[in-house]
Structure 1
């Protein structure tokens, strides 16, 4: 390896560092270290030079300044292939540093602690570490920089086999450094944004996510995919769920389950939501969870096949016995009775997820993203349903108490149906769901046809209907009358609202305007 090589080691995460340092020393690499890492190496009898001995300047300000020194950064940044760089080092009596092994103050672990103070969080913002990493990575041709303990073995194997770290590996390590420091800085910026309660959409958008798992494929087998979680305390979301049984979750499982959970969070009484391909296919609320299941299941026994079922109550043995007879991909619940779990686990491929805080609503200031070619469109999530005081009966007939309950139930459902969305309900049970049509009349007709096909010819008689956006014409009211719908809830706001109101009055149908639209594209 020629001249004596030197490694600067300063790590917060000390996983594997003792073994790695021993190997470096045995190869003949001189070790420079700082603070707690230096103490750890000395404790293990690994020869090391303290950073202050190298710089000739003591650590100061409670360790805030120790590696921020020209001797360190000149030794890292000097290009070995530039004669003038090497001559300057010689004149300044500075030696090169060939390896940097650094990971950063535990900022993430700090902000995830209960009741962490701003002062404590700020104190755990690393300054010297990222600076060294960036200096070393910029000069990747000459310096191998290791930020991830999982790369120790890769570096050692090349040193032992080739007496050097290959340029390709150094380039790989450089990439990891800038991904690591970018992630670190983004966590800090995100924490400060939340600390200031700054809910505006920022001029520049930086976010960071951590990989949970690689996936077998994406929406289709020819697409690559991975699952990432946001950094922070995100209770009540699928990233917080514990899997108790079954194969790993697929891309489509996660997407559909998330949609089902979003709808479930709209309900406080015992409720079951069944979902298929991102749309609800059966929803039921009742005084107990078993009855809620029976409502959701009987609403569409066909579409639930291979679907997702989420419950806001514990899965009991009696409920598990009924669920077991249906082919389901995923069940999510806050808990499972021990005998229920044992029974469901006999289906080895059934994915069982336990989500203790399933009822916790999403953060109202969370973002919703949609990727477009060449860009990203961002909005805050659709966290509202309607303002109770703004509900307005616009017809001569006022809904009965039961109809109003069902109207609110249906409007919760239709909020999560792909637009143009229509939902029909009766007695807190979904009767028909019409998603994703290019015009509203087709969605309305689809609802009625599905209800007749899947339940019976009279299923829609006495039911209510919800629309995610206004009726542009009175044709939907005509279809509702023919199907026996007695009440309608919709946002209102069409220039032809009066046509629909008149048609409702003609047929004795009650209509309520919410004043709040819920497109879902």
Structure 2
């Protein structure tokens, strides 16, 4: 048995703590830092996610994980000029894996603060350089270039966690965990998410472009490793809003939809022209953008705190302007880890520009859900696959 002693478990009072395998070697090597219990939960889940994204799409993939759910996930689709500006990488010739990472981190920058990163392909020096500027706890990848490893080892005063994963590792088909002295056992969820699960389309609209299929697969694979209940909005090769761990399906749809709206609003001309001072740090800038987009902006203007961030007082982005901007959005894909029990989920999804939906189907109100999709010309596929993850 190979084991790795950890500092503590989920919380400092939970000692002792370790990870181990009963046979053979651990499938990862610690190249730097000292991983914690939650770090390794994030690492093992995020690695599976990016590996499956790469297999399903043929593109390098990246994920940003926080507390055992993805904050973002993406594949290496080239960035438009608008997204380059939104992600602050204008004019930079990006490698495929760096593109995937920047997209994954850019999905929900607030939630990605202090994340654990997973890459499907070798971490190159460019990706490591971008990562070095972010607040992050660690990374897992199949390999690292010499330059990338040197950059990452210098992060967080040399304590940044760097894990190298054995990409040929195949886990046992049965997994176990103990809860309150009771051992739970089940077969691993090794179902593959492919185009085949998008063939049953009960709606009047049947069109699924290659891009829509790609984005629906990204959403569904992301959900496979998101704490349930969960819904994921995706567009342009990446997740743009993930609603994890909600007890109500429509609350997932609202939460993820609100995040997707913020992702779109970050591309609004007023946001892109915010007059930040040169010395404003990246996390402070991200926080300020979220406040600017939110209804809290007026409260900030009533104080002098905005003067610490901007060279001049920004022109407000009104609630009406935000509504009108979101109304122009279309072509968004949405995946759900289980069936929609009511048409209200479709109604909320439509407000965030959703044109394509993939959900398991099987509700006694499927007819109501289909009717809601037909009302807006949404193409909806029944996957007949439930993707609960706990």
Alignment TM-score, normalising by the size of structure 2:
0.74
CA distance in structure 1 between the partners assigned to 2:133 and 2:45 by the alignment: 24
Per-residue deviation, 1:211: 5.3
Distance 1:308 1:455, change over 3 A: farther
Q: Determine helix, strand or coil for the equivalent of 1:479.
A: helix
1:232 pairs, out of 10, 16, 23, with: 23
The structure whose Rg is larger is 1
Q: Which residue of 1 aligns with 2:354?
A: 485
Per-residue deviation, 1:349: 1.5
Per-residue deviation, 1:388: 4.9
Matched, 1:349 2:136: no
* Worse overlay, 312-321 or 368-377: 368-377
Q: Which residue of 2 aligns with 1:400?
A: 209
Q: Which residue of 2 aligns with 1:461?
A: 330
CA distance in structure 1 between the partners assigned to 2:101 and 2:337 by the alignment: 25
User: How many equivalent pairs are there?
Assistant: 304
Alignment TM-score, normalising by the size of structure 1:
0.56
CA distance in structure 1 between the partners assigned to 2:235 and 2:101 by the alignment: 15
Alpha-carbon contact 2:2-2:21 (below 8 Å) kept: no
Unpaired stretches in structure 1, ≥5 consecutive residues: 1-209
Query: Matches of residues 27-176 of structure 1 in structure 2 within 5 Å?
Result: none
Per-residue deviation, 1:304: 1.5
Q: Which residue of 2 aligns with 1:218?
A: 9
CA distance in structure 2 between the partners assigned to 1:389 and 1:471 by the alignment: 20
Query: Matches of residues 348-387 of structure 1 in structure 2 within 5 Å?
Result: 348-355=158-165, 357-358=166-167, 360=168, 362-363=170-171, 366-386=173-193
Distance 1:385 1:421, change over 3 A: farther
Matched, 1:253 2:39: yes
Per-residue deviation, 1:386: 4.4
Alpha-carbon contact 1:385-1:415 (below 8 Å) kept: no
Q: Which residue of 1 aligns with 2:117?
A: 309
Q: Deviations over 1:105-142 (max 9, x none)?
A: xxxxxxxxxxxxxxxxxxxxxxxxxxxxxxxxxxxxxx
Q: Determine helix, strand or coil for the equivalent of 2:53.
A: coil
Q: Deviations over 1:313-367 (max 9, x none)?
A: 1111111111110011111112211112112221212111122x33x4744x522
Alpha-carbon contact 2:51-2:61 (below 8 Å) kept: no
Output the aligned Cα RMSD.
Answer: 1.9
Matched, 1:332 2:140: yes
Alpha-carbon contact 2:193-2:220 (below 8 Å) kept: no
Q: Which residue of 2 aligns with 1:294?
A: 102
CA distance in structure 2 between the partners assigned to 1:378 and 1:240 by the alignment: 21
Q: Determine helix, strand or coil for the equivalent of 2:118.
A: strand
Distance 1:257 1:492, change over 3 A: same
Per-residue deviation, 1:451: 2.2
Tell me which of the two structures has the higher relative contact order, counting C-alpha pairs closer than 8 angstroms and 6 or more residues apart. Answer: 2
Alpha-carbon contact 1:425-1:463 (below 8 Å) kept: yes
Per-residue deviation, 1:461: 3.5
Q: Which residue of 2 aligns with 1:27?
A: none
Per-residue deviation, 1:474: 0.7
1:242 pairs, out of 29, 54, 59, with: 29
Matched, 1:265 2:75: no
Q: Determine helix, strand or coil for the equivalent of 1:466.
A: strand
Unpaired stretches in structure 2, ≥5 consecutive residues: 78-95, 266-321
